[in-house]
Every structure is written in structure tokens, then in C-alpha cells.
């Protein structure tokens, strides 16, 4: 299963258009890339062809990522707070700001996130997927897991 298969399934099950779904999946993968520890996340991405490229395309720590998300003052504050707290916390804060700025409500984000996790478990295995997610407990909370 590659990243496009995951995007297609999440789009279908969460009722989102493909460009929005790609952004959601890429943003979540970017948060994992920045917050999970090296070899675990590398092994995870190796099991899902295209996941690392998608994470880089939607890099939550890229210059201006939060400012360009269109979220206004809230995104600016979240981006500034992320910078103060450092990369690990900043990646999660920027990722959540980007997800909210994509126009989705929390129920849609949770539906997409839950479907993404189930697809990742099918592709990378539940043990590896859970090891990666356990390193980012704040993300699990935002995804309703």
C-alpha cells in the first residue's frame, strides 16, 4: 500500500475531496516526521512508499507554514508559540493549525486521522504504527485516538 492508496481511502471514508485529504495526510505525516524519533519513523515511512515525500511537501516547520495557512491571528499565535517551544512542540502546534486552516472541523479531522491510522497499520503493521504514534501523544489526542 502506497501513500496514494491511503489518500484515496481516507478521502472516501472521511468524505473529503482529494486535495484536502492529501493536505491532511501530508500534514499528519509531517508532524510524525518532526516529532517521532529517527529510526522508528524512518522504518514507518519505508513501509509506505511516498509518505516521506508527502510529509516534506506539507512540512509543518517550513518557513511561514503557519502564517501561510490562512488562519489569521490564531495561526500567528500558534506559530509563534511553536517557535518558542522548539521543534517538537512546534511541529504539533503548526500541524494542528494547518489542519484547522484547511477548513475542516474537529470531527472531520478525527475521522480522517482515524482512517489514516487504520490504513497506516495495514501498511506498516500495528506495532510499528503504534510505536510512532506513542512518541507523539498530543497528536493522538487531537485525532481522537
Threshold 0.85, pTM exceeds: no
What does the pLDDT read at residue 69?
45
- Count of helices and strands (H, E) across the chain: 9, 0
What does the pLDDT read at residue 63?
64
pLDDT along the chain (145 residues), means of 10: 96 95 96 89 96 95 57 47 52 89 89 95 96 89 81
What does the pLDDT read at residue 47?
97
Burial of 95 (0-12, 13-18, 19+ CB in 10 A): buried
What does the pLDDT read at residue 100?
87
In angstroms, the CA 74 to CA 23 distance is 19
What does the pLDDT read at residue 88?
54
Domain ranges in the chain are 3-65+106-139
In angstroms, the CA 18 to CA 33 distance is 22
* CB-based contact 94:64 (threshold 8 Å): no
What does the pLDDT read at residue 39?
85
Phi-psi region of 37 (alpha: psi -120 to 50; beta: other; left: phi over 0): beta
Amino acid at each position: 500500500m502506497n501513500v496514494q492508496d491511503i489518500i484515496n481511502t481516507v478521502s472516501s471514508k472521511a468524505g473529503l475531496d482529494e486535495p484536502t485529504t492529501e493536505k491532511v495526510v501530508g500534514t499528519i505525516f509531517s508532524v510524525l516526521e518532526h516529532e517521532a524519533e529517527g529510526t522508528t519513523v524512518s522504518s514507518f515511512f519505508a513501509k509506505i512508499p511516498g509518505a516521506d515525500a508527502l510529509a516534506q511537501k506539507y512540512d509543518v516547520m517550513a518557513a511561514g507554514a503557519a502564517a501561510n495557512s490562512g488562519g489569521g491571528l490564531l495561526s500567528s499565535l500558534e506559530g509563534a508559540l511553536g517557535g518558542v517551544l522548539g521543534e517538537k512542540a512546534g511541529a504539533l502546534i503548526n500541524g494542528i493549525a494547518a489542519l484547522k486552516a484547511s477548513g475542516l472541523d474537529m470531527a472531520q479531522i478525527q475521522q480522517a486521522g482515524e482512517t489514516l491510522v487504520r490504513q497506516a497499520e495495514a501498511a506498516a503493521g500495528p506495532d510499528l504504527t503504534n510505536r510512532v504514534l506513542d512518541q507523539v501523544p498530543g497528536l493522538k489526542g487531537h485525532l481522537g485516538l
